[in-house]
Chain A
């Protein structure tokens, strides 16, 4: 242990070395972060593209995004509940209920799309409020509350869509979310703005910290981050801007699906909330040590309830995206595998089931893994049965990695 209270600004090289060394130490200590998800994603992509070249086509690449969108959005909300060490098993059917509300109001009642969307989002928030209050105020374990809600919401969806029929959605705006694309030029422009803004924020932050004599992120690390973002996002935008239509003369199909910028905005908002606001800090605190949070004067009940509200609210957005993609809502919307995929996405991405650890980005990384598995195995012609078994195994694997890295962290004093 070195004896240094006020860490002084070191020269760029040694500070870069310290940064890299710290990162490696954290990994050895069991803080794997996004590594397993990125690693798994690369392996899966290589395997599928070798076995089925169609996996690499631009059409399929775009499919991946629209397929995985709903699950990733629901997972992003679930992360708030998981951060507290709680679980929401009803998120899937909550999204179904919200989608059904949307469809009923839109198609059967003839409401304008914005009011119907608003109603669906309010439904989600109210569901979260009820679930969260039951957990926080009555003290019923979240597992039981949301299991009961899981069953009940399944029934609510059935009641709303009148016993097994399906309600089709014809509203252009709602359908556009998962089925229409951003013009290619706008995609490039958004990418440029995003990368430049990210670089600027990182640089300004580092400059400010250095000016105050605090340890700043080395320029080389910032450069690496910005380049990684630019390359990955740039590649995605490039492929999505390739003409995907079989008959381009008849109908042109190119550009980033509208749902992608939507998800990116959600990612930025929730990342900001979790990392830069006192509220986000308090969520981590309650997940890490609820008693310590309570003694620090944090209203633990309110944090719990709000996490469930965010979770169900995000589920409602997921439901809207799912309804848009399917062009309709049926009793199975948000059902079957949606919840498991969402929990799986969060855990595979690196969010801990034990609470206190997780990021909004985890939902996207894990969501990508889940989407690739489902998509790739579909291309290989496997049945739904096999897909379920494989996805279940991957979820178990991710939870196993989580538990093991936690054990390792405890052993090395980094619990």
Chain B
């Protein structure tokens, strides 16, 4: 670890009514590294990501960005910091084209009018920077794209904004083998460009293929955040399923105290 974390959360608590989803969670992401966020269904991965992205306000806890404490109370705050989330359902509008989707909500304009030309140029540059070569025209509707291409557009949309942290929610869940490889390659490239990438995945092969660190959530608690090179496949599976693995993990397996 040459640098401190760009994004750091401490003691995050989040409840939905009587149900406490996140207990005292700590999480960090480092620039130039892929941090995998793993955990079983219902462990709180999506909730944690939505808290980072400002979709859900946190009940208590501290949110540090680039070493400074910040308050994120909405998606725009997170975007202003440089935190971008690519959701599992991609959140693309089928009836809009690639450029329109990439700039949705943050359109470039000159005066009152949309500056389509600049937007198209920037979109083209971003896709070229990611070495994306599979898109025929930037003006085709997203509805006509394949799953991998949609994922690419969604990731490019997140990168467009000089973002510092990109969070990918199950980017390969719905993809075939070749497209998965493509997307993972893209993920690695993002980190190599100096971004902090957070990858949520259920697929251990994907996780070990690209990540530098692994954070495992268990029943709303952070079981462990470790370097990928220092753990084995089996240890991570244990962390996911029981919250502990030997010295690693929660002291009490059922998550009552950490």
Contact = CB atoms under 8 A, between A and B. Distances in A.
Nearest to B131: A5
A278 B119 CA distance: 12
Contact of B112 (A3, A208, A277): A277
10 contacts: A1-B136, A5-B127, A5-B128, A285-B93, A289-B94, A292-B92, A292-B93, A296-B105, A356-B95, A409-B143
B94 A356 contact: yes
B143 A297 contact: no
Residue among A6, A29, A215, A288 with the highest chain B CB neighbour number at 10 A: A288
A7 B123 CA distance: 12
A241 B76 CA distance: 56
B136 A208 contact: no
A381 interface: no
Interface string A1-22: 1111111000000000000000
Contact of B93 (A209, A215, A289, A413): A289
Interface string A392-415: 000000000000000001000111
Residue among B95, B106, B113 with the highest chain A CB neighbour number at 10 A: B95
Given A5-B127, A214-B120, A284 B95 contact: yes
Contacts of A2: 136
Interface in A348-368: 356-357
A318 interface: no
Interface in A287-312: 287-289, 291-293, 295-298
A3 B182 CA distance: 15
A246 interface: no
A288 B96 contact: yes
Interface of A: 1-7, 29, 208-209, 212, 214-215, 276-278, 281-282, 284-285, 287-289, 291-293, 295-298, 356-357, 409, 413-415
Contacts of A296: 75, 91, 104-106
B79 interface: yes
B95 A6 contact: no
B113 A281 contact: no
Given A6-B128, A276-B112, A296-B106, 4 more contacts: A2-B136, A288-B94, A292-B92, A414-B143
A415 to B, nearest CB: 5
B41 interface: no
Interface string B74-114: 11100100000001011111111000100011110100111
Nearest to B138: A7
A190 B89 CA distance: 49
Given A7-B137, A278-B109, A281-B114, A413 B144 contact: yes
Contact of A295 (B91, B100, B133): B91
A409 B75 CA distance: 33
Nearest to B127: A5
B66 interface: no
Contacts of B137: 7, 215
A409 B96 CA distance: 14
A291 B91 contact: yes
Contact size class for B?
Answer: 35 or more
Contacts of A413: 143-144
Nearest to B120: A214
The secondary-structure label for the interface of chain A is loop
A2 B94 CA distance: 21
Contacts of A292: 90-93, 104
B113 A276 contact: yes
A281 B95 contact: no
Contact of B94 (A277, A295, A415): A415
Contacts of A212: 117, 121
B143 A415 contact: yes
B203 interface: no
B132 A414 contact: no
Nearest to B139: A215
B226 interface: no
A80 to B, nearest CB: 15
B124 interface: yes
Nearest to B157: A296
Nearest to A410: B143
A6 B127 CA distance: 9
Contacts of A215: 137, 139
Interface string B122-153: 00100110001111111101011000000000
Contacts of B109: 277-278
B248 interface: no
Contacts of B21: none
Interface in B30-71: 55
Given A208-B117, A278-B107, A296-B104, A288 B93 contact: yes
Contacts of A5: 124, 127-128, 132-133, 135
B104 A285 contact: yes
A415 B143 CA distance: 5
A298 B104 contact: yes
A298 to B, nearest CB: 5
A158 B256 CA distance: 68
Residue among B55, B76, B117 with the highest chain A CB neighbour number at 10 A: B117
